[in-house]
Every structure is written in structure tokens, then in C-alpha cells.
Chains A and B, each alone.
Chain A
Amino acid sequence: MTGFRPRGRRGAYTAAAIAFTTSALVVLATALFGQHPPPAPPDTARAASIDEPRTPAPRSSPLPRSEPTVIRIPKIGVRTQIEKVTRSADGSVDMPTDPDHVGWYTGSVTPGETGNTVVVGHLDSRSGPAAFYGLGTLRKGSRITVTRRDGSTAHFAVTAMEVWAKDGFPSRRVYGPTMTPTLTLITCADWDDDRHTYRSNLVITAEPTTSPPGGADRGF
């Protein structure tokens, strides 16, 4: 028994050392051959015309005011808490403190109310993907649902995707009020390797839709 234990311990240490080294090699190989930058929005998102009308006829009646609690985007596996965010010192909209959460701008209407609800989220944190990492893979028709404090749910479908450079950002168009309920999601896009910052914003517009038949996003 005494002769067995050291050998057993040595064996375990050998196995652990091999495992750690192999893992290190795998991580390096993945970094070298399999980088995963955030999914890019479609090219049409960059061809957005500034004159495009953005308020078609309403598809369901507006909801009364009630603050949002949870957002779900089944296509990209997002189901996360909604924090409240206010205007930042530079006049833009502040980001949620937790990168895995999204932020509802309290100066905008609540989701489903008449007007433009603004929700912002990080694409990535300093260490990896954040809540809106997959936003670029959404397409027209992708569903978004928001649970509200009064227990009701506002259902939306994506109607437009636009990428706007940070210099020359059309603030009135993106943040401006609308005559019908509208949900605007914003995150970053276009990494600048030299300046180590994102050059653009990805802006997703969604409009009310009826809840899916049979509850397609139930259990998510």
C-alpha cells in the first residue's frame, strides 16, 4: 500500500501536467486557427437609406406603460435581465453595468407603448462575448419578446437592421419618437484594430407582432 500511493500520486500528477499542457496547446491552436469575431450584420444593413420611411401601420394596439424586466431573443439564445440606464455624460445612452444584461433607456417609452423604446447592450466585455454579441445574426422577421413588470409580454419582429458610423451617427433617426410602438436595439460594430475601439453602431428596429401560434418560444 505504501509503495502504491506515491506511484499513484506521481501518475496523477503526470496526467494532470499532460492535461494542462494539452489544454494550453488547444487554446493556442484555437486562437491561431479558429478566431471567432462577432457575427457581422448583413451587407444590406450598411446600404440603409436615410429617407426610408420607418413607421408602417400598427399591427396590434399599444400597451399601457409598464417597465421591462426580461428580454428574450430565441434566434441567438438571449434571455437576460433588463437594467435601467440613463443618459451618459457625453449625451449618449449609458451601458448596463453587467455586460450580460441589457439596458432600457428610461428617457424612452416602455416596450409596447406608443413611441420608440431604446434598449442598448454590450457586444463584448473586456474578457469575452456580452449580451448582444449575436445581434448581427438577426434578420428581418426574427422575434424579440419583452416581459414587463405588469406581467404582460410585448412581442416584436425585426423590420430593419442598419450600421451607422459613430462619426455622423443619425441620433434623431435612431432615438427619435415614433407614432407607433417601436423597439430599437443598439450595440457596437466594426472593430478598429489600430485604435482598439468599435467604429460603428448596429441598430436593429423591431415592430409589434402577435404572439407566435402555439407559443414557439415557450420554455426559453
Chain B
Amino acid sequence: MTKKTATSVAALMAIASGMVLAPVAFADSSSHDDELHTALAPIPTSKVTGSGTAMVHLKGNQATVTIKTQGLLADAPHAQHFHIGAKGQCPPASAAKQHNGQLSLNTTDGLPFYGKIGASLTTTGDTGADHSALAVDRFPKGSAYTYHRTITVDDETAKSLRDENAVVVVHGIDFNGNGKYDNVLGASDLDPKLPSEATNPALCGPLKMAPAAAVAGGMGGTQSADTMALTAAGGLLTAAAGTLYLRRRSSRQS
């Protein structure tokens, strides 16, 4: 019993010290590396059937970004950004509106969900939200591409990434399936000189922290069978002894 009490006290102390130390460990989260990832799924109503994946390794304000796509419009540039500062979500089909008589979802329609641009994921040069958002000559081209680049993001974007509030959006759709960007949905809501198809969101994915390490999916209750059986058998034998006592008592009474 003394040993058991000592063990309980030790366990309590371990739990208590963990509770004290845990907040200290978490307070330091911005200095270690963070890994985020997401699958890129088609925007509803966009007629896109492609998909993709995105991974971001974040160290301070340095973001190493890897994006893979498939099934996008071939031979066409695809603008891609971190969007930040809204719900950290991709827009549902209900966010679509009539554009040039067609139910579709342009970049502005998605803003309440994924937010404004935090960084432009260009292949070379500037990655800012203001100057490079529609730098069509510096974005990846083609239906399936792999993009890999380390960029510096501003504090707001870094914080949004760490808060799991940033969203990767890849733009450029072929709504009428004619193999090129045209004005079937009218002019772009972002730049009237461009067709809406060229800037409409195609693929989207909310960036979430990637889990690391194996899970603790077992406690061993089916492994220490001896202990379990002894406990059970012990209980049953106690019950047997109890009934024998009652038997003796009841025979004395008679």
C-alpha cells in the first residue's frame, strides 16, 4: 500500500510538472520550424476536374513552398497565391453568382472565405501581394506542374500560416472547355484587360499544420492477459468465498 501511494504521488507530481512546463514549451512556437500542407481541390462550379497538393515549410518568415498540380488548362499560366485574413476556408458552391449569365465563382466571390492575397507564388522575382498578384509571365504554366521555391513572407502572412488561416489558391479555368482563356464569363474582376477565366480560382486548399510522429493507439489491455485474468479470477474466488460464508451463516440460523 505504501508503494502504491508513493507511485500515485509520483504520478501526480509528473502530471503537475507537465502542466507547469507545457505552456512554456508552447510559448516558443514561432522559433521552431512549422510544416503545413493541404490537398488542392477544384472550386465548385468552375468545371475544373484537376487537383493538387501543397506543402509549406515555414522557418521564421522563410516559406519553402512545394505545389503539385494535375488536370489544369494546358499551355496557360496559372496565378497562385497564399490568401489570408478571412475564414481560412475554400468557398462552397453557394458562393457562386451569375457572371455573364453563367453561374460561376470569381476571385472576388471567394474573398469572404479565403481572404486577400498574402503572397504571390511566382517562379522568379517579386512575391508581393500588390505588384505580382497578376504577373502572368512569372507564374507556372501547364496542366500538371511542380512548383518549388523558398520565398520570404511578411509578418502578417507568416502569422496567418501559423494560425492555420492561410489558403492556397491556384487560378485559371476553362469554363467552356475550348482550350483557352476567353470571355465566356466576361472580363476579369481583378483586371478588365484579362478574361475572367484567366483569373477565376481553379484549385483551393486551406493550409493546416502537418502532424508528425506515430500515434499512441494502444494501452496494452490485450497484452497483459495474465494480470487481467488474475484480477478476474481473484474477484470470482472472493465471490465464491463470500457465498460459502453466507451458506454457513444460513445453515447456523436453521
The chain A residue with its CB closest to the CB of B53 is: A177
Q: Given that A13-B246, A24-B236 are contacting pairs, would A95 and B222 also be in contact in the complex, using a CB cutoff of 8 Å?
A: no
The chain A residue with its CB closest to the CB of B90 is: A65
Closest chain B CB from A32 CB (angstroms): 8
Closest chain B CB from A4 CB (angstroms): 10
- CB of A13 within 8 A of CB of B250, answer yes
Within 8 Å CB of A62, what residues of B?
41-42, 51
- CB of B92 within 8 A of CB of A31, answer no
Q: Given that A31-B225, A109-B39, A179-B53 are contacting pairs, would A123 and B214 also be in contact in the complex, using a CB cutoff of 8 Å?
A: no
Which of A40-48, A68-76, A125-133 lies at the binding interface?
A125-133
CA distance A95 to B215 in the complex (A): 8
Q: Does A124 contact B (CB under 8 A)?
A: yes
Q: Does B28 contact A (CB under 8 A)?
A: no
* 8 Å CB contact of B222 from A7, A18, A123: A123
Q: Does A147 contact B (CB under 8 A)?
A: no
Q: Does B125 contact A (CB under 8 A)?
A: no
From 67 to 94 in chain B, residues with beta carbon under 8 angstroms from any chain A beta carbon are 68, 70, 92-93
- CB of B220 within 8 A of CB of A105, answer no
Q: How many A-B residue pairs have CB under 8 A?
A: 208
- CB of A201 within 8 A of CB of B68, answer no
Q: Does A122 contact B (CB under 8 A)?
A: yes
Which of B133-141, B177-185, B191-199, B202-210 lies at the binding interface?
B202-210
CA distance A196 to B52 in the complex (A): 41
* 8 Å CB contact of A188 from B39, B217, B233, B247: B217
Within 8 Å CB of B55, what residues of A?
172, 176-177
CA distance A91 to B213 in the complex (A): 7
CA distance A191 to B224 in the complex (A): 10
- CB of B211 within 8 A of CB of A93, answer yes
Within 8 Å CB of B20, what residues of A?
none
* 8 Å CB contact of B218 from A36, A107, A124: A124
Within 8 Å CB of A127, what residues of B?
221, 228
Binary contact track A127-167/B, C-beta < 8 Å → 1, others 0: 11110110000000000000000000000000000001010
Q: Does B17 contact A (CB under 8 A)?
A: no
CA distance A174 to B128 in the complex (A): 33
- CB of B244 within 8 A of CB of A171, answer no
From 39 to 53 in chain B, residues with beta carbon under 8 angstroms from any chain A beta carbon are 39-42, 44, 51-53
- CB of B205 within 8 A of CB of A177, answer yes
- CB of B236 within 8 A of CB of A21, answer yes
- CB of A92 within 8 A of CB of B212, answer yes
- CB of A114 within 8 A of CB of B217, answer no
The chain A residue with its CB closest to the CB of B52 is: A179
Binary contact track A79-102/B, C-beta < 8 Å → 1, others 0: 000000001011111010001000
Within 8 Å CB of B51, what residues of A?
62, 114, 179-180
The chain B residue with its CB closest to the CB of A5 is: B254
Within 8 Å CB of A124, what residues of B?
218-223
From 1 to 60 in chain A, residues with beta carbon under 8 angstroms from any chain B beta carbon are 3, 6-7, 9-10, 13-14, 16-18, 20-21, 23-25, 27-28, 30-32, 35-38
CA distance A118 to B42 in the complex (A): 20
Q: Does B15 contact A (CB under 8 A)?
A: no
The chain B residue with its CB closest to the CB of A193 is: B223
Q: Given that A24-B236, A166-B214, A179-B53 are contacting pairs, would A107 and B220 also be in contact in the complex, using a CB cutoff of 8 Å?
A: no
Residues of B within 8 A of A (CB): 22, 25-26, 37-42, 44, 51-55, 68, 70, 92-93, 164, 205, 208-226, 228-230, 232-234, 236-237, 239-241, 243-244, 246-247, 250-251, 253-254
* A-B CB contact pairs (8 Å), 26 listed: A17-B240, A21-B240, A24-B232, A24-B234, A25-B233, A27-B229, A27-B232, A35-B225, A36-B225, A65-B92, A90-B213, A95-B217, A114-B40, A115-B53, A123-B217, A126-B219, A177-B39, A177-B40, A177-B55, A179-B52, A180-B51, A187-B215, A196-B224, A198-B216, A201-B214, A201-B215
